[in-house]
A and B are shown apart, each in its own frame.
Chain A
Amino acid sequence: DIQMTQSPASLSASLGETVTIECRTSEDIFTYLAWYQQKPGNSPQLLISDASSLADGVPSRFSGSGSDTHFSLKINSLQSEDVASYFCQQYNNYPWTFGGGTKLDLK
């Protein structure tokens, strides 16, 4: 199975700040990586697919980058509604696996 390592596990940031979350995979997954946002008490929502393609309705302050084994999710100009947990997921190989998550809150 492909192992997913997300960092940091938790993060505190100020409104307006730029935040970066990283995801590393144990094997080359090309760009078959998705990012999800899970707000407290809610189900996950797709943010980004194919490492950098924003899902419909996702604000442009979110962006994804990377390929092979190293990926990043960047949030520009952090807003209060971005307080959530973020998960990466690889879909290059079955079984589909998720990172452990990054919990983002406000400083």
Chain B
Amino acid sequence: EVQLVESGGGLVQPGRSLKLSCLASGFTFSYSGMNWIRQAPGKGLEWVASISGSSSYIYYADTVKGRFTISRDNAKNTLYLQMTSLRSEDTALYYCARRGQLASDWYFDFWGPGTMVTVSS
């Protein structure tokens, strides 16, 4: 059974940093592209970042480019999101999600329960 469990969220002041983790199980992690997607309270979904299985390809939304870094450790089956220079508009529930298994499948077939990040002074 595919499982994704995020951690590392919390309350942080504007301008500070935070690192999220996502522990994966139930599938061959190193073969799968992984993603971070966020949802502000009461709002819709916003794709944040993607990374290929071997970390060869990395993409970011313009809203986080230069501030967030996605990475992975395939030996630990773990995905990360290092967030710096945080802003109030980064307040959201952050989901880890696996992408579909074919090269053209940039949809998200499994999602974790999410970890909440609140940026406030």
Q: Which residues of A contact B (CB under 8 A)?
A: 32, 34, 36, 42-46, 49, 55, 87, 89, 91, 94-101
Q: How many A-B residue pairs have CB under 8 A?
A: 53
Nearest CB of chain B from residue A105's CB, rounded to whole Å: 15
Q: Which residue of B lies closest to A101 (CB)?
A: B44
Q: Is B11 part of the contact surface with A, judged by Cβ < 8 Å? A: no
Of the residues B95, B100, B105, contact of A43 by C-beta under 8 Å: B95
Q: Which residues of B contact A (CB under 8 A)?
A: 44-47, 50, 59, 61-62, 95, 100, 104-114
Q: Is the CB of B106 within 8 A of A96?
A: yes
Q: How far is the CA of A55 from the CA of B109 in the complex (A)?
A: 8
Q: Is the CB of A95 within 8 A of B105?
A: no
Q: Is the CB of B107 within 8 A of A46?
A: yes
Nearest CB of chain A from residue B9's CB, rounded to whole Å: 14
What chain B residues lie within 8 Å of A34 (beta carbons)?
107-108
Q: Is the CB of A91 within 8 A of B106?
A: yes
